Chain A
Amino acid sequence: MTSNRRLQIKPTLDVTAWKYMRLSAILLIPMVWFHTIFTTLIIGAENTNLELVAARWATIGWRVYDILLLAFAFSHGITGLRQILFDFATSTTARKALNILLLLFWLALSAVGILGIIGGVAK
């Protein structure tokens, strides 16, 4: 039998990351699956083209959806990659360096994607 014990845990970055992985996971299931079912099963790779992207991004709701999906999925993925790397890189120096590299990679690619969606399809 497990008994109910509650521990007070200091909210370090790792604890926050652990919680974020699980909360984003619950959110990502409907978001990622709706996105993939719509784009690959309903539309299909054969029918995907620039015109369709432009048509979708003409609606503000689709742009907001795509930005949120990118933000949640990519931050979840980067945090997951951090967890994997930290299993191997155990020294404080290595972890600090990895934190900075991951942060830069995350910010750079998020900016490229999100600014691209905001900018929309160029005419």
Chain B
Amino acid sequence: MVKNIVNGVSGLIRYKGGIAHYTFLMHRISGLGVLVFLSLHILLESTAHYAPHLYDILNSGLRTPVGLAAEIIMAFLVIFHGVNGFRIAYFDLFHIDLWTPHPALHSVRATWIITILLWFPAVIIMALHSFHII
């Protein structure tokens, strides 16, 4: 088991699969990141029922520079995971023929471009909220 983990993780890092490989790794990392966030998010939001006096106190942690940074990183992870996840699900379910080297690589590049294009405006809007401009 420990050997599996060491081999597995070092293989994931050393394998030279280029952008497609980094995209696979990023899908895992973003999936795990979002799952950790969601677990904490469920606990925090449910204080509205279990301990309402704590809700606003705990939530004020988001209104700090660290909170804003966390929000910006989470936005990237959710957008990337969603765009790339859609690509995977769409190809697997409806267009298995697109899993050939050329269109697959093309779609990987498109995934990163779409992610960045959606992320920028989100960052700007979150920053505007944070500085009370909107």
Instruction: Point out residues on A near B: beta carbons under 8 Å.
Output: 2, 21-23, 25-26, 28-29, 32-33, 36, 40-41, 44-50, 53-54, 57, 70, 73-74, 77-78, 80-81, 84, 87-91, 94, 109, 112-113, 115-117, 119-122
Q: Determine if B49 and A119 form an interchain contact, defined as CB atoms under 8 angstroms apart.
A: yes
Quick one: closest B residue to A46, CB to CB? B129
Main secondary structure of the interface of A (DSSP, over half): helix
A30, B100: Cα distance in complex, Å: 28
Q: List 29 A-B contacts (CB under 8 A).
A: A2-B97, A2-B100, A23-B93, A25-B86, A25-B88, A25-B89, A29-B85, A36-B78, A40-B71, A40-B126, A41-B122, A41-B125, A45-B71, A45-B129, A46-B132, A48-B62, A53-B55, A73-B38, A77-B38, A78-B35, A80-B32, A80-B35, A84-B31, A88-B4, A91-B1, A113-B45, A116-B46, A120-B48, A121-B48
Question: Is there a chain A Cβ closer than 8 Å to B21's Cβ?
Answer: no
| Max count, chain A CB within 10 A of own CB: residue among B31, B122, B134 | B31
Question: Is there a chain A Cβ closer than 8 Å to B17's Cβ?
Answer: no
Main secondary structure of the interface of B (DSSP, over half): helix
Could you tell me how many residues of chain B have their Cβ less than 8 Å away from some Cβ of chain A?
47
